Amino acid sequence: MLAPTLTPSFDGLHLKDGVSVQCNRFVDLPTELITAILLRTDYLLLRSDADPDTLPQICRRFKDIIDTSVELQYHIELALDGMMDGPPSPLSTGERLSRLRSLRSSWSTLSWKSKVTVPMPGACYAYEFVGGVFCKTHNIQQHPRIGSRQFSATWLPSSHDPGHTLVREDLGLPTRDFAMDPSQDLIILFRGAEEIALPLVVVSGTLELHIRTISTNNDHPGARLPILRTPVSFPVTSAFIQIVDDIVGMLYCVDPDSPRITLWNWKTGELVVDRSSLNLPPATWDFSFIDSHSIFATCGSRTGSIEIFTFSCDTTSSGASEPGQQPLVHIASLRLPAILPFVRVFNLGTHTGPFLASCPPGKPFTASNEDRIHVLTAQYINPRPTEGPRNRPKFCVFFHNRMLEGYIGRHAEQEDNGGIPVVIPWEEWGPANTRFLPHNGTFQWLRWAFTLDVHPISSASIEYVHGQRVIVPSLVEQGKSRMQVLDFNIRNTPRQNCYTNSSSDSDAESGADSDTEFTYHPKNHTHVELIDYTTFVDVPTIFPEPVRSSLPYREMRRDEMADYSGVMIDDERLVGLKYPAFSNGDMKDIHVFTM
């Protein structure tokens, strides 16, 4: 919210207790009042990117206030780092700011404070890592089963918390997959087939989602209906669940060419959207939320595309096709790069970090839902004989969530398009808003461990995303892995850059309480490179022209890591998982590197 313009006739500010402050200019207001106003102002107006000597007097005045206010610095730097503030806690604002700068410094050099081995016995059928909590389902029996009843949730250790584990021997139902949001104490269990070695997720009949709490396994008190149901006419072979605030979405298939997207409001129990393959774009492959009122689907027809939709949870909407259902409004189609006539898109998965309704308890801050990166993993097939693996090459396409939100905002400002989406060629949106890179990884973990998918939704993606960072491990030599973190939060602001390499300096400048625990960074062999220039991917067997892209990012790389089968990240830790960890293996333990 911006302060109103004060005219020369402004004759003063009247405060409580009859005190009057005479001031003819906004900059003459008391520092405390200016601070309160700035705390409610978009941080983009407060960045002070320019040289202070060239700023007009009002900006120098604001800069002086910001430089002496720990609260304002915390407000600005939270936004610069793509974070949202957490609930009240014993931590002071200065301590939160110190922690924020320490994490920024640690991630900029991939330097961790400790490595902790966390026991994680048993197989792993499905797993989630959200809000610092790692959950998995497994069975005690030696026989592989699709439906799992055993469940464990581990609040992983951090540099401030040793963590703890909760184990349930019987959830009360066989679950095939699940999604969760620790900030809402929410877990949604997808009931699966329990028959031994049955290669189906759900037999024909009814698909069920059970809404429970993580802490008690009881029905969630915020849900009007404890079970969400929808009929299925044929056996379901694959499924994928996502939660955003009060919306739970599911993409599931009864065969490779018949995906279905269903969205519910898990609190009210109402069916919001239900679209079969007949009512989705051709060759729909995967989907992701943009926010709690919009999604995008990836489609493999022609060159491949990103299809953006919005929906409403207003059950009184006159546009509802059926009671309790709202129409998906198709607003834009973003086309991927042109391909040769005989080349086709074989796989087009998408992945982004988990959504949280709020910052989980006990955390000073966490990644905001708006500031996130999406990763498309695109695989193409060239049916004509060529040498080497270029017959079926893979590529990754990285882009910001705010880019998608921009198209939604522009659509809202325009007149109704009659249900016809705006088609945006790659040349108009891709080169400036994406980074298009070859896919060279071997990592196979993403969100679940065991699948018999005929239509492998998202299983082709191998990156793990959190906020605006993507971790991409790859094998360097036998027993060793290279750990690459790509950070797409490149603001190029003096305030952010100043505190990238040292948290001790940040404490001194901000006036925050010093904390030596946060200033130590072990020596390592991290290679850091800023990629802020245009790159070209030239694969003439797939693309008629080199693919150009220029979204800036910073790459941090370490080569001395152990050979992990999967690596995940969140705000304050890096997690390494080892093979075997699938349905008939034993996970044994995981390694947690605290930042």
**How far is it, in rounded angstroms, from Cα 375 to Cα 434?**
10
Written as six digits, the tokens of 540 are 């003439």
Written as six digits, the tokens of 310 are 């919005």
CB neighbours of 301 closer than 8 A, spacing ≥ 6? 281, 282, 283, 345
Per the CB < 8 A criterion, the answer to whether 271 and 250 are in contact is: no
Per the CB < 8 A criterion, the answer to whether 39 and 75 are in contact is: yes
Sheet holding 553-562, edge to edge: 464-466, 469-477, 480-487, 553-562, 527-531
Nearest to 100 by CA among 568, 575, 507, 469: 507
The DSSP letter of residue 415 is: P
Q: What is the mean pLDDT of the chain?
A: 81
* CA of residue 423 relative to chain centroid, distance: 26
Q: Are strands 422-424 and 329-335 parallel, antiparallel or unpaired?
A: parallel
**How far is it, in rounded angstroms, from Cα 497 to Cα 491?**
9
Cα–Cα distances in angstroms (integers) from residue 124 to residues 138, 149, 199, 294, 567, in the given order: 5, 12, 17, 32, 15
**How far is it, in rounded angstroms, from Cα 459 to Cα 436?**
19
**How far is it, in rounded angstroms, from Cα 329 to Cα 155?**
39
Residue type, 399: F
Q: Which residue has the tokens 């018999």?
A: 452
When mean pLDDT is compared across 196-205, 446-455, 539-548, the lowest value belongs to: 446-455
Residue 287 forms beta bridges with which residues? 297
pLDDT tens-digit series, residues 223-245: 999 999 988 877 777 788 999 99
Question: The dihedral of CA 557, 560, 563, 566: what is its sign?
Answer: negative
End-to-end CA separation in angstroms for the chain: 35
HSE at residue 533, side-chain half, CA atoms within 13 A, is 4
Is the pLDDT reported for residue 289 higher than 50? yes
Per the CB < 8 A criterion, the answer to whether 250 and 274 are in contact is: no
Give the pLDDT of residue 1: 38
Strands in 267-393 per DSSP E: 270-275, 284-291, 294-299, 305-310, 329-335, 344-352, 365-367, 373-381
The DSSP letter of residue 362 is: T
Q: Which CATH number fits domain 114-490+532-594: 1.10.3720, 2.130.10, 3.40.1350, 2.60.120?
A: 2.130.10
What value does the mean pLDDT take over residues 167-172? 93
What are the φ/ψ torsions at residue 46 (nearest 5 degrees)? -115, 10
pLDDT category, 117, cuts 50, 70, 90? very high
Give the pLDDT of residue 12: 44
Nearest to 462 by CA among 475, 452, 477, 453: 475
Q: Which residue has the tokens 């808003």?
A: 433
Give the pLDDT of residue 43: 61
Between residues 339 and 520, which one has the greater pLDDT? 339
Per the CB < 8 A criterion, the answer to whether 584 and 473 are in contact is: no
**How far is it, in rounded angstroms, from Cα 332 to Cα 205?**
35
Residue type, 423: V
pLDDT category, 482, cuts 50, 70, 90? confident
Instruction: Tally Cβ neighbours within 10 Å of residue 87.
Output: 12
Question: The dihedral of CA 309, 315, 317, 320: what is its sign?
Answer: positive
**How far is it, in rounded angstroms, from Cα 543 to Cα 546?**
7
**Residue 32, SS3 per DSSP:** helix
Nearest to 564 by CA among 485, 472, 480, 477: 480
Q: What is the pTM of this model?
A: 0.85
When mean pLDDT is compared across 25-39, 247-261, 459-473, the lowest value belongs to: 459-473
What is the greatest pairwise CA distance in the chain?
A: 87
Per the CB < 8 A criterion, the answer to whether 183 and 356 are in contact is: yes
Residue 463 forms beta bridges with which residues? none
Between residues 418 and 14, which one has the greater pLDDT? 418
**How far is it, in rounded angstroms, from Cα 556 to Cα 486?**
7
**Residue 36, SS3 per DSSP:** helix
**How far is it, in rounded angstroms, from Cα 569 to Cα 557?**
14
Residue 100, H or E segment: helix 93-109
Is the pLDDT reported for residue 57 higher than 60? no
pLDDT tens-digit series, residues 432-470: 999 999 987 554 444 433 333 333 333 333 568 999 999
Between residues 62 and 421, which one has the greater pLDDT? 421
**How far is it, in rounded angstroms, from Cα 97 to Cα 104?**
11
How big is the chain by its Cα radius of gyration, in Å? 25
Is the pLDDT reported for residue 200 higher than 60? no
**How far is it, in rounded angstroms, from Cα 13 to Cα 29?**
8
When mean pLDDT is compared across 12-21, 31-40, 233-242, 260-269, the lowest value belongs to: 12-21
